[in-house]
Amino acid sequence: MRNVLIIWRKELRSYFVSPVAYLLLAMFAVIFGFFFWNILGYFVFTSMESQMRGEMFPMNVNEQVIRPLLSNVGVIGLFFIPMITMRLFAEEKRSGTIELLVTSPIRDGEIILGKWLAALTLYAGLLLLTALNFIFLFKYGSPDWKPLAIGYLGLLLQAGALLAIGMFISTLTKNQIIAGATTFGVCLLLWVLEWVGGYETATWASVLSYMSVVTHIGSFSKGLLDSKDVVYYVTLIFLGIFFTARSLESLRWRS
């Protein structure tokens, strides 16, 4: 555990001594801020319109603001995750520092876990910035906090899964750009797979759409904690970490 912390600290430091972390935080905050402003504006517009028409259309902050916002955060995340994971192992392989890590009295699993947790911590930092916007909703409205918390849990699980996959891809190359681009492609694919379910009802289609990360984030954004979806993400996390470990091991046999 101590070794995991050593790696975790070193990784987080290297995110924050370079502009990477600040750039990601700033970009994420700006993009999310725009989404928030947009959706809130639409919400205010429709509620005024329904008031003028005299309809008592049931307006709900949770349903009409928080839920679409949270699914949007998930999508923005797909673009940010490759930037977080691409350097994790690719850079160590390129500069040769991987030899230092691997010949130190520390287990591969500890290296991997430390790196993954550091990436997850940075992502949690991004999510924390988005939470600032929601403070306004609580100040001027009275949304239910539980679905929001579950929504964030879902986002964190989704990020954990994609970060583990990105970390695995980063072990396959010495080139950060290749690692980043491949991770982006895989993330995008895991996102759009869900579309097949929209028009096709055969078994293969439902399998494909089950594999999509978007299928499983839906219930979390609604505020539902479905064990099926939790299992999906946790499985992906384990698979990603497992493949990273195998890849690191094969590196020793090959290089």
Partner 1 sequence: MITVKELTKRYARNTAVDHISFDIQKGQIVGFLGPNGAGKTTTMRMLTCFMPPTSGTATVAGFDVLEEPMEVKKRIGYLPETPPLYPEMRTGEYLEFVGRLKGLRKPELEKRVDYVCERCAVADVRDKLISKLSKGYRQRVGLAQAIIHNPDVLILDEPTAGLDPKQINETRDLIKSLAGDHTIILSTHILPEVEQTCEQVIIINKGKVIATDSVNNLQSRARGAESVLIEVAGRNGSLDSAAIQSRLEKVSGVNKVVFKEKKESRNVFEIESGKGRLVRGDLARAIVEAGWDLNELRPSAMSLEEVFLQLTGQPEAAPKEAAAAKGASQ
Q: Computed from CA positions of residues 169, 84, 224, 189, in that sequence, does the dihedral angle turn out positive or negative? A: negative
Of 44, 100, 128, 131, which lies in the binding site for partner 1, with binding defined by CB under 8 A? 100
Q: Which stretch binds partner 1 (CB under 8 A): 38-46, 93-101, 188-196, 228-236?
A: 93-101
If phi over 0 gives left and psi between -120 and 50 gives alpha, with beta otherwise, what is residue 186? alpha
Instruction: Give whichever of 99 and 144 is closer to partner 1, judged by the CB atom.
Output: 99
Of 40, 81, 101, 155, which lies in the binding site for partner 1, with binding defined by CB under 8 A? 101
Taking the complex as a whole, the smallest distance from the CB of residue 255 to partner 1 amounts, in Å, to 7
Q: Are 223 and 147 in contact (CB under 8 A)?
A: yes
Taking the complex as a whole, the smallest distance from the CB of residue 112 to partner 1 amounts, in Å, to 15
Which whole-number Å values give the CA distances from 141 to 51, 70, 135, in the listed order? 17, 18, 10
Taking the complex as a whole, the smallest distance from the CB of residue 243 to partner 1 amounts, in Å, to 20
Of 54, 58, 105, 198, which lies in the binding site for partner 1, with binding defined by CB under 8 A? 105
Instruction: Give whichever of 11 and 194 is closer to partner 1, judged by the CB atom.
Output: 11
1 contacts partner 1 (rule: CB under 8 A)? no
46 contacts partner 1 (rule: CB under 8 A)? no
Contact mark string toward partner 1, 10..39, x via CB under 8 A: x--xx--xx---------------------
Instruction: Give whichever of 87 and 222 is closer to partner 1, judged by the CB atom.
Output: 87
106 contacts partner 1 (rule: CB under 8 A)? yes
Instruction: Give whichever of 47 and 97 is closer to partner 1, judged by the CB atom.
Output: 97
Query: Which candidate, 172, 187, 6, places its Cα nearest to that of 84?
Result: 187
Contact mark string toward partner 1, 149..178, x via CB under 8 A: ------------------------------
Instruction: Give whichever of 13 and 146 is closer to partner 1, judged by the CB atom.
Output: 13
Of 97, 121, 142, 235, which lies in the binding site for partner 1, with binding defined by CB under 8 A? 97
Q: Where on the chain is the footprint of partner 1 (CB under 8 A)?
A: 3, 6, 10, 13-14, 17-18, 95-106, 252-255
